[in-house]
């Protein structure tokens, strides 16, 4: 029995090391100098850790780019923030209202519409990509932050609606009756009864939407243009576009910077993330 326990913890530790190794390599590489990277191994700790590569990744390296901007991630970080905040609130808000309506105000076709939305979550974004480009262009917001916010709301609403609708379905009917007898209409019932009840699911939806929007690449690549590049797109360009020898420490620092916001949200939110990730897995 004791050997079993040792084997159990042994296996778990091996798995944990395998999962953490790439993260460790990313952090330690970002703190090394290029000389050390050339002569050392990816597994070693940095001998003389420094944040030089982080600075280059954040502010850019003006010597390496041809005029214009210096190519750092700082501007695309701001772009990402400007996209995430409105897109997050709009998609979660719209999902909450739609989910509430579908779950509580039963009407003709509500189930059909929910099924249509559910299927919509599985549609590969490539299939509707070009018509979406035309629509956004006709609205005159292609290549701008409002355009990206709009496409994120369109792509996020199916998921947020599903989360809220499934949650509101579990609210006891008696509570709704009581609220209606007290004269609560559509909006008061939502605002004063349902929304306060849904705080945990609201948290889950916010965390996951934040993660999805921050981590998105395809929409940012397609709709961002030159001025609206989110951080993932900028990271991919940075890694792919260097001249001469690749600066792996800068690449890893840039990767770390891109991953930090969602990593922080994950580590701080813990259980909420775990609860929601299963429900939201379909979005991939």
Partner 1 sequence: MAEPAQGALKPSHDGRRRWRPQWTAKMALIPAMTITIVCFYGFIIWTFVISLTRSRLLPVYKFTGFDQYIRLFANERWWTAMQNLAIHGCLFIGGCVVFGYLLAILIDRGIKAEGMFRTIFMLPLSMSFIVTGVIWQWVMNPGLGLQDAVRELGWTTFEFNWIVRQDRSIYTLAIAGVWQQVGLCMALFLAGLRNIDPNIWKASRVDGIPVWRVYFHIVTPMMRTVFFTVFILMSAIVMKAFDLVVALTGGGPGFSSDLPARFVVDHILNRQELGLGAAGAFVLLCTVIAVISPYIHFELRKERGGRGH
Q: Return the residues of window 120-179 that contact partner 1 according to CB under 8 A.
A: 120, 122-132, 134-135, 153-154, 157-158, 161, 166-167, 169-170, 173, 176-179
Residue placing its CB nearer to partner 1 in the complex, 67 or 284:
284
Q: Give yes or no for residue 272 binding partner 1 (CB under 8 A).
A: no
The three-class DSSP label of residue 8 is helix
| Interface residue with partner 1, options 67, 185, 196, 244 (CB under 8 A) | 185
Q: Give yes or no for residue 45 binding partner 1 (CB under 8 A).
A: no
Which residues have CB under 8 Å from 207's CB, separation 6+? Answer: 265, 269, 272, 273, 276
Residues in 229-258 that interact with partner 1 by CB under 8 A: 232, 235-236, 239-240, 248, 251-252, 255, 258
Q: How far apart are CA 216 and CA 208, in angstroms?
A: 12
Number of residues that bind partner 1 (CB under 8 A): 104
Q: Give yes or no for residue 186 binding partner 1 (CB under 8 A).
A: yes
> Least distance from C-beta 64 to partner 1, angstroms?
18
Q: How far apart are CA 225 and CA 165, in angstroms?
A: 35
Q: How far apart are CA 122 and CA 155, in angstroms?
A: 11
Q: How far apart are CA 238 and CA 50, in angstroms?
A: 20
Stretch that binds partner 1, among 45-53, 63-71, 81-89, 100-108 (CB under 8 A): 100-108
> Least distance from C-beta 234 to partner 1, angstroms?
10
Using alpha carbons, list the distances in angstroms from residue 147 to 80, 82, 151.
13, 12, 6
| Contact yes or no for 233/115 (Cβ under 8 A) | no
The single-letter DSSP state of residue 190 is I
Residue placing its CB nearer to partner 1 in the complex, 26 or 195:
26
């Amino acid at each position: 029995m004791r050997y079993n326990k040792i084997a159990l913890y042994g296996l778990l530790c091996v798995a944990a090391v395998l999962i953490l190794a790439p993260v460790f390599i990313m952090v330690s590489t970002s703190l090394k100098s290029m000389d050390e990277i050339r002569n050392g191994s990816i597994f070693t700790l940095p001998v003389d850790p420094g944040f030089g590569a982080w600075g280059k990744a954040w502010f850019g390296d003006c010597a390496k780019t041809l005029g214009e901007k210096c190519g750092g991630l700082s501007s695309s970080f701001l772009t990402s923030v400007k996209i995430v905040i409105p897109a997050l609130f709009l998609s979660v808000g719209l999902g909450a209202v739609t989910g509430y309506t579908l779950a509580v105000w039963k009407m003709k076709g509500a189930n059909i519409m929910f099924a249509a939305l559910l299927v919509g979550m599985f549609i590969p974004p490539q299939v509707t990509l070009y018509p979406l480009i035309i629509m956004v262009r006709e609205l005159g917001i292609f290549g701008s932050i409002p355009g990206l916010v709009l496409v994120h709301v369109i792509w996020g609403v199916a998921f947020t609606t599903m989360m809220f609708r499934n949650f509101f379905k579990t609210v006891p009917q008696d509570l709704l009756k009581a609220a209606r007898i007290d004269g609560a209409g559509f909006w008061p019932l939502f605002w004063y009864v349902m929304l306060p009840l849904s705080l945990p699911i609201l948290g889950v939806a916010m965390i996951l939407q934040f993660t999805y929007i921050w981590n998105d690449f395809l929409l940012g690549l397609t709709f961002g243009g030159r001025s609206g590049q989110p951080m993932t797109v900028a990271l991919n360009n940075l890694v792919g576009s260097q001249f001469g020898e690749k600066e792996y420490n800068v690449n890893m620092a840039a990767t770390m910077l891109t991953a930090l916001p969602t990593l922080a949200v994950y580590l701080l939110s813990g259980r909420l993330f775990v609860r929601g990730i299963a429900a939201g897995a379909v979005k991939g």
